[in-house]
Chain A
């Protein structure tokens, strides 16, 4: 059992990082550019972005490999660099000085029929290939995230359990708040989805993206009641708004930190941010988590 698996087992609170894409955009990543392309073309910027989170108090950072499966890489003609890119991304995260490196695994971007023309077998192959490449670079865990279809999440989980069998695998889905509760866009209900992932061998389960911290707190309550596994929760910083041609998220770091400290106090082990959150949000959350720990 590696140190991160041990930490999961001990149920220690772990502070994750926030959004990575927005930090790279601030460093000049263009609108149409794939963030993972910077792993090879601008490695120093990627390493520094991780370092900013480490400086803000993140215990663990996610590698810049969200879109680094061969299916998605093919869209930016990088599929043949899949192995090099995943390995290099782990190395950059490691060099940032982060205590733990979580290898990020995002969706293929395809959908199964009738919504799209995706194919389960090619998905599995893509995730096995990415899992192998990541495992060879020795991260501390893998994190499948922003999955909007439980079926794709389960395929990714199965593929990573095969290709990176010695590492813990966490899985986060993306839910919307509907009148009847929290569901993915495909209609997967919260509690049932998290249980399925647990039964399929996930070491931690949870949610990221789309929802802001207030809705995520409700989701966290329902999740905590539904499963005994370690939970991971990473909300967005409110809803995106445009001002003068630039995107900004309306939530202030302190408001985010206040909600997320409450999420942690529900017994959610892994807390961090998604789109719109930056090192200020993580620093604010770190202060709250640490002041809580020091209390008797």
Chain B
């Protein structure tokens, strides 16, 4: 059964992923195992295939959609059985002001929500003030800011500079990404960095854990 779940995600088959998830819930099965050994293993496989150059953007998006379809069924069930405490953290995400690219950002948002985060997607062309205001309103653990242009990368720094003014330290942590960004750039502005959408989930998890411990 877990193999079928993996396959549904690897093949980007959202209706099948949803049906399999419903099957687990109806049979009162192990929800966590279905996620970990089934659907999440599938999305990791999609990531591997992408790194190998076997999969491209369309397959990545379809895999993420299948994952999201399954999680749409599993998350409410998990919430019921765990008394509402299943979120890995709250994320406010967007593409920075002046930048209209939102495929990568939307993919990250989908994967984060599939990965158990509560995600508030502000879309593209998002001002520094909007990122900060929404993060404060939501008590966000993470602000995730995407920039696809070298000309809009400085907005990521402006967000980093603005976070202390919220007075919520050590939260929210800043996660940056986008084609022109690098680990060095992130270090320079005091942010975490993910080189692609799949890595972003793992980085977000470690940031959320760190901010909870702090």
Chain A residues with CB under 8 Å of chain B are: 21, 25, 30-33, 75, 109, 111, 114-116, 178-181, 183-187, 239-242, 245, 247, 275
Contact = CB atoms under 8 A, between A and B. Distances in A.
Contacts of A240: 150, 180
A180 B53 contact: yes
Contacts of B65: 114
A151 to B, nearest CB: 11
A186 B58 contact: yes
A290 B127 CA distance: 48
Nearest to A243: B188
Given A114-B65, A186-B56, A187-B56, A75 B150 contact: no
A265 to B, nearest CB: 29
Given A114-B61, A114-B62, A186-B57, A245 B154 contact: yes
Interface string B177-210: 0001010110010000000000000000000000
A109 B100 contact: yes
A30 B155 CA distance: 12
B103 interface: yes
A184 B56 CA distance: 8
Given A31-B98, A239-B182, A241-B182, 16 more contacts: A31-B151, A31-B154, A31-B155, A109-B100, A109-B101, A114-B58, A114-B62, A115-B57, A179-B52, A179-B53, A180-B53, A180-B54, A185-B56, A185-B57, A187-B59, A245-B157
B53 A115 contact: no
A178 B50 CA distance: 9
A186 B50 CA distance: 11
Contact of A32 (B57, B98, B182): B98
A25 B12 CA distance: 41
A11 B161 CA distance: 53
B97 interface: yes
Contacts of B54: 180
Most buried by A among B53, B55, B103, B149: B53
A108 B55 CA distance: 24
B106 to A, nearest CB: 9
Interface in B100-132: 100-101, 103, 125
A183 B55 CA distance: 11
B163 interface: no
B53 A111 contact: no
Interface residues of B, number: 32
Contacts of B211: none
24 contacts: A31-B97, A31-B98, A31-B149, A31-B155, A32-B125, A32-B152, A75-B100, A109-B101, A114-B12, A114-B58, A114-B65, A115-B57, A115-B103, A180-B53, A180-B54, A185-B56, A186-B58, A187-B57, A239-B180, A242-B154, A245-B154, A247-B150, A247-B151, A247-B180
Contacts of B99: 32
Given A185-B56, A245-B157, A111 B103 contact: yes
Contacts of A114: 12, 58, 61-62, 65
B9 interface: no
Interface string B81-102: 0000000000000000111110
Nearest to B53: A178
A181 B53 CA distance: 8
B183 to A, nearest CB: 11
B107 to A, nearest CB: 9
A276 to B, nearest CB: 8
Contacts of A109: 100-101
B103 A116 contact: yes
A240 B152 CA distance: 12
B188 A242 contact: yes
B160 interface: no
B43 interface: no
Most buried by A among B57, B61, B62, B65: B57
A265 B59 CA distance: 38
A225 B151 CA distance: 36
A242 B12 CA distance: 37
A179 B154 CA distance: 32
Most buried by B among A33, A114, A181, A275: A114
B187 to A, nearest CB: 11
B153 interface: yes
A240 B182 CA distance: 9
A247 B61 contact: no
Contacts of B150: 240, 242, 247, 275
